[in-house]
Amino acid sequence: MAKHYSSGIYRLIGAVGTSRLVTRVHPHVYRATGGRWLVGRNFGVLNVIVTMTGRTSGRLREVPLYAFEDGPRLVVIGSNAGSDREPAWVGNLRANPSASVRVGSVVRRVHGREVEGEERDRLWGLAAGGYPGYELYRTMTDRHIPVVVLEPVAEPAHEPAPEPPGEG
């Protein structure tokens, strides 16, 4: 169970974590450090970098997110620190669920899928148990906060290289 902080601390974490400066700089620092130290885990929560295609720009977008392990899947929450505006990354994954996630120095392909019903309730509990700030963020907005699973995608099998033609 995660340590609980005051609502002011969670508001500060959310404001800093969703700031333009942090969301732009964090992926570079994360790659440079291999996801070690504070950029890889803080407040007991795993930090990852999710790379996806922007739904309107078509450009690659990198987003630092808290993630929670659920077997081989990762769970990420579209709280946007309790803002009434949904984070852009959620819409990007809805439009094109193919993405990659960097965990430390390992990058793997994933498929993003928003969950609902009992699965959402269970995964919300997993995430809020790991980062209690999500419960505060839920009270700060009237919008439905998306819960997204990042499911591993099997890498395509590589065909063996063809044999060079024999000399005859």
Domain boundaries, the chain: 7-150
Q: Note the pLDDT of residue 158.
A: 54
Superfamily for 7-150? Electron Transport, Fmn-binding Protein; Chain A (2.30.110.10)
Could you tell me the sign of the dihedral formed by the alpha carbons of 5, 12, 131, 133, in that order?
positive
What is 129-141 written as a DSSP string? HH-THHHHHHHH-
Higher pLDDT, 34 or 141: 141
Q: Report whether 160 contacts 102 (CB < 8 A).
A: no
Q: Region 10-27: what's the mean pLDDT?
A: 85
The set of residues, in sequence order, having a beta carbon less than 8 Å from that of 23 and lying 6+ positions away, is 17, 63, 64
Q: Would you state the pLDDT for residue 43?
A: 80
Q: How far, CA to CA in Å, does 19 sit from each of 26, 39, 77?
A: 11, 15, 16
Whole-structure pTM value: 0.86
Q: How far apart are CA 12 and CA 159, in angstroms?
A: 50
